[in-house]
Amino acid sequence: MAGGSGRRFWPLSRPRRPKQLLSFGGEESLLRSTFNRALLLTDVERVLLVTREDLGEILAAEVPELPRNNLLLEPIGANTGPCVELAAIEAGRRYGDPVLVMLPTDHRISDDARFIGVVQRGVEIARRDDALVVLGIRPTRPETQYGYIRVEVGAETGEGGDLPVGCFTEKPDRSSAELFYRTQGYYWNSGVFIWRVSVILEALERHAPGVYGPLEPLLGLGNGPLPRELLRAAYAGVERVSIDYAVMERAGNVVLVPADFGWDDLGHWTSLHRVFPSDGAGNTVVNVGGAPEVCLVDCERTLVYNESPQRISLIGLTDAVVVATPDTLMVLPAERSPQIRAISERFDPSGE
């Protein structure tokens, strides 16, 4: 799933350089890392990449091994609900009723071997049962920017170690996040889902008619590329909604597989404090592409991401975010980091 824009990483993320193409100073982009991870699960011919039509060529260049007919182009960005249905329809047209592993391309996973092991458990559950499987991460802090999943404490564990899901909570307030962190049975929603084509399509039809109905005409098509005009007509009337809200929060056959493989949503700039080392004062400095060394004086818990040729000197900043690109300098309090989207839309209004 690669249709997002990652607005909260502006000014690094732009309409033509979305979050999934960023490497954050590493060797591989998030998209490339996810693609390589998918190849540990299946052959390249069975990897489908779903993205917006306007991003197709850009993303295809990042994964040139991907067969061109495995690039599924949505006419518009319509959130993950339609993305999931389009992938299920195409997989069903090709393979009948296979198990789908839905992988977001904008997350960071540090332990691929453990990830693959957990996914394979989920695949076996989805192959055996009519279940919607989600991978749940044990919380390590009271995070307000993640969704939470509560499992039925005391319920019987499934054959694959899966647990029945009680409810979903999207991005709770601080007091709720602290309660969830202290309470047994709460997990972070990793956004990694596993299910058979028939099971997710039935769930969409039952719980999300605004997603299922407009795309239903695509189900009856034979082999070959999906007609672009028919796809545009279908998306013109589709409900723009996440798969979490459309199905997962409503269905009764959702199960969770507990997981721990070094996962991070990388939701906004302060996430990089968890990815890169900090100094004794809690400052994190990321210099990219030979950028000059940053000078910090009496700063605490400040994040600096620098890919600018200009020298940067900071004095007395506490709990701040500083991002310097060749054409933009942004400085803001760390607590305002999740709100960057508003300013990104002002300066880079194009794109979904």
CATH of domain 7-265: 3.90.550.10
In this predicted structure, what is the pLDDT of residue 30? 94
Give the pLDDT of residue 276: 92
CATH code 3.90.550.10 region(s) in the chain: 7-265
What predicted TM-score, i.e. pTM, was given to this entire model? 0.92
CA distances (Å), origin 192, targets 10, 43, 59, 255, 322 = 25, 19, 20, 12, 31
201 Cβ contact list (under 8 Å, min separation 6): 85, 88, 89, 92, 212, 219
pLDDT at site 321: 97
**Res 47: pLDDT:** 98
Give residue 352's pLDDT: 44
Write the pLDDT tens digit of every residue in 246-286: 999 999 999 999 999 999 988 889 999 998 999 999 999 99
Residues 85 and 211 sit within 8 Å (Cβ to Cβ): yes
Pairing of strands 263-264, 108-109: antiparallel
Q: Quote the pLDDT of residue 152.
A: 87
Q: What are the residue ranges in the chain where pLDDT is below 70?
A: 156, 350-352
